Structure 1
Amino acid sequence: MRKTLPYRNIKAVASLKPSAWCTALFHTSPRQEDATFYEFRTYTVKPEKMTDFLELTSRNIHLRTAHSQMIGYWTTEFGELNKVFHIWKYGSFAQRAAVRTALAKDQEWQGKYMSQMLPLLDKQESEIAYLVPWCELGRPEKDGVYELVTFQMKPGGPVVWGQSFKAAVSAHVKTGYTKLIGVFHTEYGRLNRGTSHADFQDKQALNPDSRASGRHNAHEDPRVVAAVRESVQFLESQQNCLLVPTAFSPLK
């Protein structure tokens, strides 16, 4: 029998199956305890050093991926600038600990990359997230750009705002202007921000103008307008950024 843990902070990454994404995001029952998790790492790079950082990483990232699986690696185009965002997959915390130990002992990785990379950074952040058991991590059908969106809702969790927010998101998804990649909830990280979730949206058209036109059309839909008006009463803040995959990112 699978164990369950209480629903906590929610992180979402868009799924290629919108219906599954909506179900997962607003499910109010306990989640299964899955050993597999994902580490979300965000690096703030010194503005004048971004080119150097990406060139250095491109030359040496194979040394890092020899130790564990990288899901994707992006730079920010809009939102908080001078940042890179990458996702790593682990089968357990024991595996992550073993990987970190091995990396510390990997002289080639330390010499060719870490010693040269760290002076290029201003800040490092890490979050641990689980893929919810109601969806699978998808892949876009075409190369594109991604949107990371974080909503911070008022205290109380899905029992308070879940149905209204689900209706708002469902109404947007049904407009069909975007595709979704997956759904995660945060286990370690920004827990002091209350309940939050984020999503990645594959824009497929390679042009963020499609987002603007899509949202414009969606917000003229009476169903979307009504759903948003109902859900916004539970929203405290919202943040998003446009992500561009690097040349060495598995997710394009």
Structure 2
Amino acid sequence: MIVEMRTYTLRPGTLAEVEKRFGEALHIREKHSKLAAFWHTEVGPLNQIIHVWEYEDFKHRAEARAASQKEEGWPPPIREFVTAQQSEVFHPAPFSPKLTPRQVGPLFEIRQYTLAAGQIPGLIERWSEKIEGRTKFSPLVGGWYSEFGALNKWVHIWAYKDANERFSVRAAAAATGNWPARNPPGVVVKQENAFVMPSAFSPIR
């Protein structure tokens, strides 16, 4: 299983129209593979949409994308609003949940860590020992490591009811002494996070 996360940066003031057009055309694309999530940024890099697709493998991804391009009405007419595009492909960690439709938000935090080369296996091992305790406080949406795009990247996505719950959950998890899963010095070289909200048609919301 692989996960593709596509991030598009939009012209300011165009988000509502982009989501409308994307949502109207989505049924065409989903003839070939299903959307897992569709979010827009609330805090962090603004004017971005993030759509997440799950595939069986790279062959499935190539076939689904090729077939969808032959459909009338796909891709949606949003190019005039897009100023930048980024595509990254990830492998789920063994403990990463399936990307099945569910209502667990509506606030999601996407945390992206760049690690020193060769450190992904060790991080996954440390997380595997502690993740069960952390998910008692709030749902994990995904824990993925990069295959294509920015390398040596670890992405973890958490769901919360609102920002207040996010702060209280993180404090409660830390108070157990079991979280976070501590990394040795030098393992993590860069950290980024963003708060995102789901579109009306996002399966994970």
1:44 Cα deviation from its structure 2 partner:
0.7
| Alignment-mate amino acid for residue 96 of structure 1 | R
Q: Distance in 2 between matches of 1:185 and 1:158?
A: 7
Using the size of structure 2 for normalisation, the TM-score is: 0.82
Aligned to 2:38: 73
Q: Is the 1:177–1:211 Cα contact (8 Å) retained in structure 2?
A: no
Q: Distance in 1 between matches of 2:153 and 2:47?
A: 23
Aligned to 1:120: 81
Q: Distance in 1 between matches of 2:17 and 2:177?
A: 47
Give the aligned length. Answer: 203
Q: Distance in 1 between matches of 2:180 and 2:165?
A: 23
Match of 2:169, SS? Answer: helix
Larger radius of gyration: 1
Aligned to 2:189: 236
The reply on whether 1:61 has 2:26 as its aligned counterpart is yes
Match of 2:109, SS? Answer: strand
Aligned to 2:153: 196
Aligned to 1:19: none
Q: Distance in 2 between matches of 1:120 and 1:148?
A: 23
Q: Is the 1:129–1:185 Cα contact (8 Å) retained in structure 2?
A: yes
1:152 Cα deviation from its structure 2 partner:
1.8
Using the size of structure 1 for normalisation, the TM-score is: 0.68
1:173 and 1:144, CA in 2 relative to 1: closer, same or farther beyond 3 A?
farther
Q: Sequence identity of aligned pairs in percent?
A: 25
| Alignment-mate amino acid for residue 148 of structure 1 | I
The reply on whether 1:179 has 2:139 as its aligned counterpart is yes
The reply on whether 1:146 has 2:99 as its aligned counterpart is no
Gaps of 5+ in 2: none
Aligned to 1:213: 168
Match of 1:107, SS? Answer: coil
| Alignment-mate amino acid for residue 177 of structure 2 | R
Q: Distance in 2 between matches of 1:98 and 1:61?
A: 17
Q: Distance in 2 between matches of 1:162 and 1:250?
A: 29
Match of 1:182, SS? Answer: strand
| Alignment-mate amino acid for residue 88 of structure 1 | W
